[in-house]
Each structure stands twice: as C-alpha cells, then as structure tokens.
Amino acid sequence: MSKGEFLGEFEHLVLLAVLRLGEEAYGMRIRQAIEERTGRRVVIGAVYATLERIVSKGYASTWLADPTPERGGRAKRFFKVEPRGVAALMRSEKALQRMRQGIRIARSTA
C-alpha cells in the first residue's frame, strides 16, 4: 500500500468533520467543528486546501449551493464523503488501532 493511500492527521480530522456534519458540511462549519472538538486553532484556508486534496483523491465530492444574503450574496460550497473516503478512514483507524495494541499511553511516560 502506497503512502498516498493513508490519510494525514488533518485530512483525517476534516473527513470526520464532513461525515459528522452531514448535509451541513461546508467550509465554515467544518472549520468550527474541528476547532470545537479538538481545541486547536484552524484556518479556513487550511480547511479548503485539505478539502481540495481530499476531493482530488476521490474521497469526497463537492458542489456549490445557491448564494445567500447572510453571506453577502456568496454561494456555499458543500462537501460529502464518498465510499472511497469512508474506506480510507477505516484504513487509517485500523492502522492506528494496530499501532496502539499492547501500548499503554500514560502521562508519566511523556
């Protein structure tokens, strides 16, 4: 299996956020979801750069909605995780599980 088939940490977070948000998955909501759940500061440009990579790998699809007034007449770009994205997530989760097996991570060791 090549390196490109595994998800980077931020790709992993973005895909999970898109899955979690379902039909409400667009840039701002994805950024906020990651920030709220992980506590790390997230830049909208990083989210879009990662989403572009995810879409180019076929892990997610994207489409533009109609413009709305609260956004100054600008359209939202929505995202949806595709079956290949789900498979990539499962692959990464399994790899992490296998790496964790037999290891007890304690604060005292850090």
Residues in contact with another protein by the rule CB under 8 A:
2, 4-5, 26-28, 31-32, 43-46, 48-49, 51-52, 55-58, 62-64, 67-68, 70-72, 74-77, 84
CB-nearer residue toward another protein: 38 or 68 = 68
Please give the helix or strand (H or E) that residue 18 lies within, else none.
helix 9-21
CB-nearer residue toward another protein: 2 or 101 = 2
CB-nearer residue toward another protein: 16 or 29 = 29
Q: Could you tell me the CA-to-CA distances from 1 to 20, 92, 101, 106 in Å, in that order?
A: 27, 12, 21, 31
CB-nearer residue toward another protein: 12 or 57 = 57
Cβ at position 66, least distance to another protein in Å: 11
* Residue recorded with tokens 């692959």: 91
Q: Could you tell me the CA-to-CA distances from 21 to 55, 80, 96, 101 in Å, in that order?
A: 17, 9, 23, 30
- Is the separation of the CB atoms in 71 and 31 below 8 Å? no
Cβ at position 16, least distance to another protein in Å: 19
